[in-house]
Amino acid sequence: MKNTALFTIFLLLAFTSYLPSATAASVYDTDGNILQKGRTYFVLAATRGNGGGIEFAATGNDTCPLTVVQSPSGDSIGFPIRFSYPFIETLDDILEGFGLEIRFAYRPPCSPSSIATTKWTIVNDAVKLTKTSSSIIPGFFYIWGASPNSKDYKLEFCDLDNIKCGDVGIHTDDDGSRRLVITQNDPLLVHFQNTRSSSA
């Protein structure tokens, strides 16, 4: 019990040490509305013809679709995702530079179900949906604007110590799967489309 309490305090301190200022910019969807905690969005490539939406798939030796990938089809909008703040209950707007958890709206259909999660995790620099790997790197995702007055954004991941950070980009493996991975200065630029948007 004591160890659990100490670990919780450590997580809180690690998170709050890197909170941005109150002037942090809001993150907007393709309709011009501020992203909201708990609502569902599609994550789409900002550049048309550069793949489609974000989804999960079985890759490599996976027997379950635990790998977060970009659809190779530009017509695909992917699967809905949600953003949440791990330690902030009162803030609903999604802001640049705030540590986030990212989850799909539903879990991969795995058997047994105990191995899969909706939550994006980092395993060996790849974005995965697994509860069981001993190589999971604890940390948070961040959203940053790619340029002023633009709806282009990039995702970043930092570990709890904020020492190891990297952009979320794409690695195409030998089977042609476009895996989401942590890269250095090679981000996938994305848009966020509300699943209730008239353009969805």
Residue 194 CA to residue 126 CA, distance in Å, equals 25
pLDDT of 8 reads 41
This prediction has a pTM of 0.85
- Higher-pLDDT residue of 93, 22: 93
pLDDT of 21 reads 46
pLDDT in tens, 94-153: 999 999 999 999 999 887 778 889 999 999 999 999 988 889 999 999 999 987 777 899
Region 173-179: mean pLDDT is 92
Residue 141 CA to residue 95 CA, distance in Å, equals 12
* Short-list 147, 127, 149, 151, CA closest to 139: 127
What pLDDT band is residue 22 in, cutting at 50, 70 and 90? low
CATH class of the domain at 2-194: mainly beta
**Which residues, listed in sequence order, are joined to residue 44 by a DSSP beta bridge?**
53, 191
Question: 């994006």: which residue's tokens?
Answer: 120
Helix (H) / strand (E) element for 102: namely strand 101-104
Tokens of 139: 């940390």
pLDDT in tens, 27-75: 999 999 999 999 999 999 998 777 899 999 999 888 899 999 999 888 8
Region 158-162: mean pLDDT is 90
Cβ atoms of residues 9 and 17 within 8 Å: no
Residues 154-170 as b or e (16 or more Cβ within 10 Å = b): bbbbbebeeeeebbbbb
Residue 26 CB partners (closer than 8 Å, separation 6+): 34, 35, 93, 94, 95, 96
Please give the C-alpha separations between residue 14 and each of 67, 124, 139, 145, 167, in angstroms, as whole numbers. 27, 21, 9, 23, 20
